[in-house]
Amino acid sequence: MTQAAFARADDRSRPMTAQEKRVVFASSAGSIFEWYDFFLYGSLASIISKHFFSNVNPTAAYIFTLLAFSAGFAVRPLGAILFGRLGDMVGRKYTFLITILIMGISTFLVGLLPTFNGVGFVAPILLVLLRLLQGLALGGEYGGAAIFVGEHSPQRRRGYYTSWIQTTATLGFLLSLIVVLAFRALIGEQDFELYGWRFPFLMSFALLVGSVWMRLQLKETPAFRMMKAQGRGSRAPVSEAFGTWGNAKIALIALFGGVAGQAVVWYTGQFYALFFLTRILKVDLGIATMLLAGALIIGAPFFLFFGWLSDKIGRKPVILGGCLLAALLYFPIFKGLTVAINPALAHAQATAPVTVVADPAQCSFQFDPIESTQFVTSCDLAKNALASAAVNYSNAVGPAGAVAHITIGGKQIAAFDGSKLSKEELAQKRAAFEAEVLTAIEAAGYPAAADPARMNKPAALGLLTLLIILVAMAYGPIAAQLVELFPTRIRYTSLSLPYHIGNGWFGGFLPPLAFAMVAASGNIYFGLWYPIAVALMTVVVGFFLVPETKDRNIYASD
């Protein structure tokens, strides 16, 4: 088979054929289902925390749930290496058939797991193991789908056609939200929290069957077939991709100058936004889900728009522009969400600020998921009481050795030193102290929950949509850029690893890290500093080191 046999595939200006459009549809649809499987856990995090981590306090349980959620992200780079090597040696098609089978079966099994009340610590262990399998599968899925579409696309429209793959993560997340809402409405809130949460996981089996059928109809990509026909395949894609500085340098530049910033923008705009609404602003999960689902629906076409725009003006200005705008706008957007969603909370924060005055030497980091640490100093007890009530507070330095106290508006509440109390005495005194704090908080106007009647839902929807547009700007062109950065012989391996380190580690650990930063500092916006710092790093590295790739001919890149 000669180069001429693939001339049409290497035509820079032709429209896509009907067969190639079917490739885009089948690849995208399968990826939507796979992302649905992976993100379903995040959509049900607040319920999962009650069933699988019921042995710890609610704050620790929620962070522990987010860490279990992030376990799937931790192993994504390993999946990238494993399936990337397979995809470069055996082929793109069969590799991402394997990944979708692993993902679908693992998700189905989550719906069958016993809970902590049934089997104790075995339940969260099994849950984490299944999350690890999901992460391995996803480590091979994205690279396969992005490359499959990218290697079928005409060069001058590659940004637009690969942006369909970029919509799949958001649409998979949206599908998980819609399915959860549907089952909640169908069987009722109480029954859904009791047992109905399993149904969305069990439903994944039907999606698995449909996805496998669609992918079986696809043919291997022209670029891979050309490479095989000419005997240019790599015998050791992992060592070739990362064992030589020339190729490894490109992967590092792609990670720090593109993927890392894109990842934190994606997870802040979608998952962290949902956690912020439900955990910080105390919005009912159903209302928060509907608002975010609406924003996802409105914002989804922007993935295609920014993919198209990257074909015109380049990948770099669109991706880096999205990261820069996100860094500049996050604080105004999230503060605006507080005013729009929970105006009573915003008013209380302005008129009755809460401060913990304590000796810093007495203050610990307020996160211990296995409860091995006893928070018994007056500072720890004061902060723990406020964290349990999800109240924003600031810190002030008190005299050395003095007992900490909380000021709420003009009221002062003294904490106590519990280090010399018995377990029973500590529990009794802590309960009384927390009740006093809660009463003072409510008297100062801090609401126990967001009032739906006082929400400015159109404003909230607009702000959430703006977050999704920032996501689309950073994420829409990234697949085309990554496909164009690496040669065909090691493309699957080279693309997958930086993508999944960026999204699996920089992005996947964002929700628990940001939530822990909030719990430690008391400032509900403090967690935003993490995505802002990473996004700004990507802007700087990307501007100086990432080449523009939109005019590269991927058939001549070997």
pTM (2 decimals)? 0.83
Mean pLDDT across the chain: 85
- What's the Cα-to-Cα distance from 287 to each of 28, 299, 300, 313, 469, rounded to whole Å? 29, 18, 20, 39, 21
**Cβ atoms of 208 and 97 closer than 8 Å:** no
pLDDT at residue 534, as a whole number: 97
Among 381, 285, 336, which Cα is nearest to 528's?
336
Listed in sequence order, the DSSP H helices in 398-456 are: 423-443
pLDDT of 18-30, one tens digit each?
A: 777 777 777 777 7
Of 443, 473, 488, which closes a domain? Answer: 443
- Looking at the structure, tell me whether residues 381 and 472 fall in a common domain: no
Of 443, 473, 498, which closes a domain? Answer: 443
- Looking at the structure, tell me whether residues 280 and 328 fall in a common domain: yes
pLDDT tops 80 at residue 333: yes
Of 380, 411, 443, which closes a domain? Answer: 443
Residue range(s) defining the domain that contains residue 118: 3-342+453-556
- Looking at the structure, tell me whether residues 232 and 290 fall in a common domain: yes
pLDDT at residue 473, as a whole number: 97
pLDDT at residue 8, as a whole number: 47
* Tokens 């949460």 -> residue: 197
Q: Number of folded domains in the chain?
A: 2
Phi, then psi, of 26 in degrees rounded to 5:
-65, -40
CA 489 to chain centre: 30
What's the DSSP call for residue 444?
Answer: T
**Cβ atoms of 226 and 555 closer than 8 Å:** yes
Domain with residue 506: its CATH number is 1.20.1250.20
pLDDT band at 14 (very low <50, low <70, confident <90, very high): low
Among 170, 104, 97, 92, which Cα is nearest to 134's?
104
Helix, strand or coil, per DSSP, at residue 355 = strand
- Looking at the structure, tell me whether residues 145 and 208 fall in a common domain: yes
Highest mean pLDDT among 22-26, 60-64, 99-103: 99-103
pLDDT at residue 223, as a whole number: 66
Angle in degrees, CA 148, 154, 160, rounded to 5: 75
**Cβ atoms of 31 and 142 closer than 8 Å:** yes
Phi, then psi, of 217 in degrees rounded to 5:
-80, -10
pLDDT of 437-484, one tens digit each?
A: 999 999 999 998 899 999 999 999 999 999 999 999 999 999 999 999
| Token digits of residue 15 | 């429209």
In sign, the C-alpha dihedral spanning 49, 51, 52, 54 is positive
- Looking at the structure, tell me whether residues 114 and 209 fall in a common domain: yes
Helix, strand or coil, per DSSP, at residue 339 = helix
- Looking at the structure, tell me whether residues 462 and 539 fall in a common domain: yes
pLDDT at residue 475, as a whole number: 94
pLDDT at residue 245, as a whole number: 87
Which stretch of 331-335, 413-417, 455-459, 520-524 has the lowest confidence by average pLDDT? 520-524
Query: Is position 448 within any domain?
Result: no
pLDDT of 341-391, one tens digit each?
A: 999 999 999 999 999 999 998 887 655 544 445 678 999 899 888 877 778
Domain with residue 397: its CATH number is 3.40.30
- Looking at the structure, tell me whether residues 285 and 193 fall in a common domain: yes
- Looking at the structure, tell me whether residues 96 and 190 fall in a common domain: yes
pLDDT at residue 180, as a whole number: 87
- Looking at the structure, tell me whether residues 177 and 277 fall in a common domain: yes
In what order do the strands lie in the sheet containing 405-408?
394-397, 354-358, 405-408, 411-414
- Looking at the structure, tell me whether residues 436 and 474 fall in a common domain: no
Among 383, 362, 396, which Cα is nearest to 522's?
383
- Looking at the structure, tell me whether residues 490 and 503 fall in a common domain: yes
- Looking at the structure, tell me whether residues 301 and 351 fall in a common domain: no
Query: Is position 544 within any domain?
Result: yes
In sign, the C-alpha dihedral spanning 111, 114, 116, 118 is positive
**Cβ atoms of 107 and 549 closer than 8 Å:** no
* Tokens 């507080």 -> residue: 338
